[in-house]
């Protein structure tokens, strides 16, 4: 995923760029292929997430085998 940040824009250009970013975020999340979780696991940190059917108060833990 590539996120572009542009500095030195006037306020209207900044507002337009922020609008485009907010529209792009849901699309980027839908297209995610697990890269963020892989980066976390590669760093030796367990990752946590929730699914729609995850019971309230619980999280799903992802960990590399070396972390168990």
pLDDT tens digits for 10-56? 778 778 878 887 888 777 767 776 777 777 778 888 878 888 898 99
- On the CB side of 67, CA atoms within 13 Å amount to 12
pLDDT (0 to 100) of residue 1: 46
The answer to whether the beta carbons of residues 67 and 44 sit under 8 Å apart is yes
Tokens 């963020």 locate to 36
pLDDT (0 to 100) of residue 45: 82
pLDDT (0 to 100) of residue 67: 56
Radius of gyration of the chain (CA): 17
The pTM score is 0.39
């Amino acid at each position: 995923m590539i996120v572009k940040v542009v500095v030195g824009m006037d306020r209207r250009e900044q507002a337009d760029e922020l609008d485009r970013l907010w529209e792009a975020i849901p699309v980027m999340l839908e297209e995610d292929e697990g890269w963020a979780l892989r980066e976390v696991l590669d760093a030796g940190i367990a990752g946590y997430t929730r699914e729609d059917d995850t019971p309230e108060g619980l999280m799903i833990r992802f960990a590399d085998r070396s972390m168990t």
